Amino acid sequence: MSSTKLREIPLEDTIRKVLQSELRLIFPSHFFQDSASKQIVAEKIVSCFSASGQNDILASSKDSDESSLEEESLDDPMEIDFVKKKEPETSVATVKCKIKRLKIPAMTLDSGTKPPIITENIVERIGAKIDKSEIHDFEGISTIPVEFIGVVHNLPITLAPGLTIIEDFIVMRYRKPTLIFSNKLLKKYRCAVDWDTNELKIPLNGKDYIIPVTMHKVKNKLEHS
């Protein structure tokens, strides 16, 4: 019994034959009397087709690479008891958020702080630029010694899907990551905390965004006489 070995036809040959067949329907018959012209035209089209296909693959690969970038998580313990309080024991409210691709597990909601605050180590993680021409002094408000080194402008804070705010944050240098959503922002975005359900409500563009709040019991770090 004899076996017939099938010959593989290169893809470009197949494309060339199909294109030649289609071109006969478009161009007059005398155009194809010169076989050299016919061959050149077909090869040019095949070449363009191949280049286009490669570009599509490169673009697709690029899109795939960008979409495959995973979000990062800030795993270091965060400082949530930053602002001095009069009460010996109190609670601190935090919410999860995201800055660019960096997930922040605990952003402090603090009505006792006027400016929004972020630490230098978080700014470095997201690759943002610090404007060191603006220096702020908040001596007396913090429970820990810190150094304020400038401002980061137009920081995108994503609180929920579809809810990203752009704000300037004062930058401080401290070993533990700290992010404070201050009284200024709480008022600006008309935030309301439901202490019964532990939810933060932010009305924006005709929609109420509901964000889960986590409560932390903390002791005042100030010494009491």
Instruction: Return d(Cα 128, Cα 99) in angstroms, integer.
Output: 10
Cβ–Cβ contacts within 10 Å for residue 171, how many? 24
**pLDDT tens digits, residue range 7-59?**
566 666 766 676 666 666 655 555 555 555 555 555 554 454 444 444 433 33
The C-alpha atoms of residue 96 and residue 163 are separated, in whole angstroms, by: 13
- Check: CB of residue 167 under 8 Å from CB of residue 155: yes
- Report all structural domains of the chain as residue ranges with CATH numbers, in order of start: 11-67 (no CATH), 72-219 (2.40.70.10)
Say whether pLDDT at 109 is over 60: yes
Q: What is the pLDDT of residue 42?
A: 52
b/e 13-51 (16+ beta carbons within 10 angstroms → b): eeebeebeeeeeeeeeeeeeeeeeebeebbeebbeeeee
* pTM of the predicted protein model: 0.61
The two tokens of residue 54 are: 């490669």
- Who has greater pLDDT, 109 or 36? 109
C-alpha to C-alpha distance for 80 and 90, rounded to whole angstroms: 12
How far from chain centre, in Å, is Cα 192? Answer: 26
pLDDT single digits (tens) 212-225: 999 887 654 433 32
Element (H, E) at 162: none
